[in-house]
Structure 1
Amino acid sequence: MTRDEAEFGLTEAGQADDDAFPLLEAAIACAIHDYPFRDPEPVRVLAAHAAERLAERITGETPDDALAETMSGDLRLNGDLINYDHPGNTDVIDVAERRRGLSAALSIFYLDAARRAGIKAQGVDFPGHFLLRVETPDGPVALDPFSQGRLVLPSELTRRALRAGLTPHVADRLDVLMAPVSDREALIRLQNVLFSRAIRMGDYEGAERSAVRRALLDPEDHRPWLDVAAAREKQGALAGALEALSRARTLDDPTEARRRISVDRVRLQLN
């Protein structure tokens, strides 16, 4: 698959309704868009094995136990504690090969397997660390894909929230801490991680690609195009930056003043 073909796939995914969002294939397209001409089939094979094994386990175990044991125990998908900043930890093709990754990347496989097995699971955009919300007969529970899919108790959620800087009256509200996000938002969270890493490393081409992917996955959001413009400006691609700012302008933009300032700044550099 080429980068252009990946962009076409992401465009189609962006136009899908949330309940029909093709999470696994969109994640593959994101990986190929970053580094083209790789074989994505191992990702699909791993996902199929996960769904089959989970379907076997769910008959005799609770949904959370079955999901954690399948993904972490049977398939050995876990967080990369030793090489946390390894670039492969955010790429589903590399994750499928290495069986290691960040929580946001591992969650792609958890969520896909849960969908296929009929388990209700959703991502939780928890501050600083992506978690999973799994519905059980006793109510929703939080799982941490990075830590062998283990259960995160409410008291630990509160401690983590306080460490992340949330105020005490918010950190005590489990309905807020475990608020679910859509599969689309889960994949966008992963692209946000890539964007932040690329900016921090001065990889502005990589930052641009991750921002473009966010824009394609959520075509109603103007903010990714502002990030595309910023990354292009860092590369000296001022005409491209203006084009991205113009695309942001066509969307519902509550920060119109900020956009105008950005346009004026780039335009002055062109003159």
Structure 2
Amino acid sequence: MTREEAEAVLAQAGERPDGAFPLLDCAIACAIHDYPFRDADGVRILADHAAQRLKERAAQESPDEALTEALAGDLRLNGDLLNYDHPANTDVIDVAERRRGLSAVLVIFYLDAARRAGLSAAPVDFPGHVLLRVETPEGPVALDPFSQGRLVLPSELTRRALLAGLTPHVADRLDLLMAPVSERQALIRLQNILFNRALHAGDYESAERSALRRALLDPEDHRPWLDVAAAREKQGALTGAMHALSRARTLGEPLVACDVRLDRMRLQLN
């Protein structure tokens, strides 16, 4: 798959409703968009094994136990504690090979397997960490894909929320801490991680690509185009930056703020 073909996959997915969002296909397209022409068969094979193991376990175990044992136990998917900032931890193709990664990538395999096994699960955009909300007969529970899929008790959720800087009033609200988001938003969060890492490293080409992927995945959101513009400006691609700002302006960015940046770039071109 080329970079252009990956963009086409993401653009088509961006037009689909959340209920029909092809998470695994989009995660693969995002990875190939960064580094094209790679073989993604390992991702699909791992996803197939995960779904099959989960179906077998779900017939005898509770939904949360089945997910933990199938994904973390049988398939050894876990967080990479020793090399947390390694680029491979944010790439679904590398994670499938290494069986190690960030929770934002690991949760993709959990969600794909849960859907195919008929279980109800959703990502939780928790501060600093992506968790998995699983519906059980006793009520919803939270699993941590980074920590061998273990159950996160309500007291631990509150403690983590306080450490992340949330106020005690919010940190005590389990309905807020466990509020599900769409699978689209979970993949967009991964692109945000990549964008911030690339900016920190001064890799503005990678930053532009991750921002562009966010724009394709959520075509109604103007904010990714602002990041595309910023990354292009850092590269000296002022015409491309102005085009991105115009897209943001069309989608809802306040006109005054956008026009000020456009005028500044026009001055640089003259």
| TM-score calculated relative to the size of structure 2 | 0.99
Partner of 2:89: 89
**In 2: Cα distance, 1:166 partner to 1:152 partner:** 18
Partner of 2:165: 165
Q: Point out where structure 1 has 5 or more consecutive residues left out of the alignment.
A: none
| CA displacement, residues 46-81 of structure 1 (integer Å, 9 cap, x when unaligned) | 000000000000011110010011110100110000
Structure 2 letter corresponding to 1:172: D
Partner of 1:261: 260
Partner of 2:207: 207
Report sequence identity in percent.
Answer: 77
- The structural deviation recorded for 1:111 is 0.3
| CA displacement, residues 207-262 of structure 1 (integer Å, 9 cap, x when unaligned) | 00000000000000000000000000000100010010011111133x33322222
Matched residue SS, 1:123: strand
RMSD of equivalent CA atoms: 0.7
**In 1: Cα distance, 2:83 partner to 2:265 partner:** 38
Structure 1 letter corresponding to 2:266: R
Partner of 2:28: 28
**In 2: Cα distance, 1:145 partner to 1:257 partner:** 43
The count of aligned residue pairs is: 270
**In 2: Cα distance, 1:40 partner to 1:268 partner:** 45
**In 1: Cα distance, 2:220 partner to 2:15 partner:** 10
Partner of 2:118: 118
Partner of 1:179: 179
Partner of 1:136: 136
**In 1: Cα distance, 2:49 partner to 2:234 partner:** 43
Structure 1 letter corresponding to 2:240: G
Partner of 2:228: 228
Q: CA separation of 1:241/1:143 partners in 2, compared to 1, >3 Å: closer, same or farther?
A: same
| CA displacement, residues 177-205 of structure 1 (integer Å, 9 cap, x when unaligned) | 01000010010000000000000100000
Q: Point out where structure 2 has 5 or more consecutive residues left out of the alignment.
A: none
**In 2: Cα distance, 1:204 partner to 1:23 partner:** 26
More deviation, 260-269/173-182: 260-269
- The structural deviation recorded for 1:268 is 1.8
Structure 2 letter corresponding to 1:150: R
Partner of 2:48: 48
**In 1: Cα distance, 2:73 partner to 2:260 partner:** 52
1:252 lines up with 2:252 in the alignment: yes
- The structural deviation recorded for 1:263 is 1.5
- The structural deviation recorded for 1:267 is 1.8
**In 2: Cα distance, 1:78 partner to 1:256 partner:** 45
| TM-score calculated relative to the size of structure 1 | 0.98
Structure 2 letter corresponding to 1:249: R
Structure 2 letter corresponding to 1:56: E
**In 2: Cα distance, 1:172 partner to 1:159 partner:** 9
Matched residue SS, 1:219: coil
Partner of 1:58: 58
Partner of 1:9: 9
Matched residue SS, 1:36: coil
Structure 2 letter corresponding to 1:37: F
